[in-house]
Amino acid sequence: MRHRRLATTALAGVTALAALCSWAVPATAAPATPPATGAPVTGARTGAHQVEAFAEDGSISRARVPAASPFVAPQSLAGPPAGDGTVTPLVSNGSTDSKLDVVVIGDGYTAAEQQKFLADAATKWQEITGVEPYTTYRSLFNVWAVQAVSTESGITGDPDRATVRQTALGSYFWCEDVERLLCVDTAAVDRYAAKAPKADLVLVVANSAKYGGAGYNDVVSPLGYSGIATVSGGNDRSGQVAVHETGHSLGLLADEYSYEGQGSYEGDEPTEANITTLTADQLRRTRAKWYRWLGRTSPDGGTVGAYEGGGYYPTGLYRPTDNSIMRSLGREFNLPGREAMIAGFYRYATTLSSPTPTTTPLTPADRLAVELPAPGTRLRWYLDGFELITWRDRTAVTLADLPLFGPKGLRHRLSAVATDPTTAVIDPKLRATLTDTLSWGVHR
């Protein structure tokens, strides 16, 4: 099985979402100058992160926030509290090598509140998987809950700015004077994420019902995970924050909103799949970006085309649809975005896995099983390169049925090839990542 865990390139900008919005960014917003589209934000481990914050009135601003938090509880001479660092599997779909591993860490939950944290963590995952393509591909994920035990219950900045609580991760509202911006100590996150079997994506769930969140997509962790999203565990709208943020960290998608007064984009063609300098006619003529989707009805509403405004600029850049989740919360991914998300899932997970390692020598006395995480995945079996037609789509096989010829002791090669036939991915380069092969040696 080929190794699918690839380092994820950080996107330009990091989104910190501080209010549920089903609106496009208003013309009254007056943000600071955004970074160049397509350029990674630096400073993930140098003391600061670049974030974007959304206020309840619809205005948008940008801030550079510290990586450290002043509200991390000091370590006790007696050692960590009982139960601190306990890892509980919330969702187990297979090995860490074949799945995308999400680590959920709680903050502001005392030892007596750990069951509440586990319930909040499970609820956040349900909210995330209520959005496509997570719904269809939920079996590609493992979810690990890491219990960070805090000595104080709650989060700094909730219910008001004067409230201070020292917690395991130091989560706090009013970060850089933005009320709904929920910051965290990224070094503390690393320490707890390291306790999980594997961390590809990290979600911090704060013990608060106050709406807020942040996205740290410039984080380049030595553990290998591609981003941190912070959300309020007790707020039923905050799951949308995590969905939007994974659009960046997993889908490598750009923000599709723009700032009035920002001027016109005059740079090179962005690398992100969902913004371009080209009009619909130019996309079609040059067969670029999302040209294959042009004219199709998109799940976020409307028709795929080229809508001016995106990547923080009101002119000079185009987005695929009028208003996807990369522009406003409470929406769906558009067709190009959904395609990019599925490709992102498969950068970490595989279309095929088996509890039997490929290094295990097999004989006709053995049985073999494989797992197909995506619904409708096509499975084909081959012996020494020739397809076993009667085994098509069989996930459990008896090797005594194999037509093994030749002298005793001859080693044969048995291969399983799985392909996800989804119509949500049409780019040939991306489709190539939707096939995986596992092979075993079989001795007669």
In tens, the pLDDT along 253-274 reads: 999 988 888 899 999 999 999 9
- 211 inside domain: yes
In tens, the pLDDT along 386-443 reads: 999 999 999 999 999 998 876 776 889 999 999 999 999 999 999 999 999 999 999 8
Looking at the structure, tell me whether residues 374 and 244 fall in a common domain: no
Looking at the structure, tell me whether residues 373 and 245 fall in a common domain: no
Give the domain-ending residue among 249, 278, 311: 249
Give the pLDDT confidence score for residue 262 in this predicted structure.
Answer: 87
- 330 inside domain: no
Structurally, how many domains does the chain consist of?
2
Q: Which of 199, 200, 191 is nearest to 148 (CA)?
A: 191
Give the domain-ending residue among 249, 274, 302: 249
Q: Which of 190, 250, 245, 254 is nearest to 222 (CA)?
A: 190
* Percent of the chain scoring above 70 in pLDDT: 85
Report the alpha-carbon angle 258-271-222, nearest 5: 100
Q: How far apart are alpha carbons 393 and 400 in whole angstroms?
A: 18
CATH number at residue 61: 3.40.390.10
Which of helix, strand or coil describes residue 150?
coil
Please compute the mean of the pLDDT values over residues 124-131 and round it to a whole number: 96
Q: Are 167 and 108 in contact (CB under 8 A)?
A: yes
- 144 inside domain: yes
Please compute the mean of the pLDDT values over residues 308-332 and round it to a whole number: 93
- 181 inside domain: yes
pLDDT tier for residue 25 given thresholds of 50, 70 and 90: very low
Q: Are 403 and 387 in contact (CB under 8 A)?
A: no
Which of 57-61, 157-161, 308-312, 403-407 has the weakest average pLDDT?
57-61
Q: Name residue 189's amino acid.
A: V
Give the pLDDT confidence score for residue 36 in this predicted structure.
Answer: 41
Give the domain-ending residue among 249, 273, 291: 249
CA dihedral 151, 152, 154, 156 (to 10 degrees): -110
Q: Name residue 212's amino acid.
A: G
Which of 98-102, 183-187, 315-319, 374-378 has the weakest average pLDDT?
374-378
Give the pLDDT confidence score for residue 51 in this predicted structure.
Answer: 67
Q: Are 176 and 69 in contact (CB under 8 A)?
A: no
Report the alpha-carbon angle 131-340-61, nearest 5: 75
- 391 inside domain: yes
Give the pLDDT confidence score for residue 43 in this predicted structure.
Answer: 36
For 433, the domain range is 367-443
- 285 inside domain: no
Report which listed range, 27-41, 52-66, 252-266, is most confident.
252-266
Please compute the mean of the pLDDT values over residues 63-77 and round it to a whole number: 84
Q: Are 145 and 90 in contact (CB under 8 A)?
A: yes
Q: How far apart are alpha carbons 414 and 404 in whole angstroms?
A: 11
**Sign of the CA dihedral running 208, 214, 217, 218:** negative
Looking at the structure, tell me whether residues 40 and 168 fall in a common domain: yes
Residue 204 token pair: 């911090």
Contacts of 389 (CB under 8 A, 6+ apart): none
In tens, the pLDDT along 347-385 reads: 999 999 999 999 999 999 999 999 998 889 999 999 999
- 232 inside domain: yes
- 309 inside domain: no
Looking at the structure, tell me whether residues 20 and 154 fall in a common domain: yes
Please compute the mean of the pLDDT values over residues 294-315 and round it to a whole number: 96
Q: How far apart are alpha carbons 379 and 376 in whole angstroms?
A: 9
Q: Which of 234, 227, 229, 228 is nearest to 211 (CA)?
A: 234
In tens, the pLDDT along 201-241 reads: 999 999 999 988 888 877 778 888 878 899 999 988 888 88
Looking at the structure, tell me whether residues 44 and 181 fall in a common domain: yes
Q: How far apart are alpha carbons 148 and 114 in whole angstroms?
A: 9
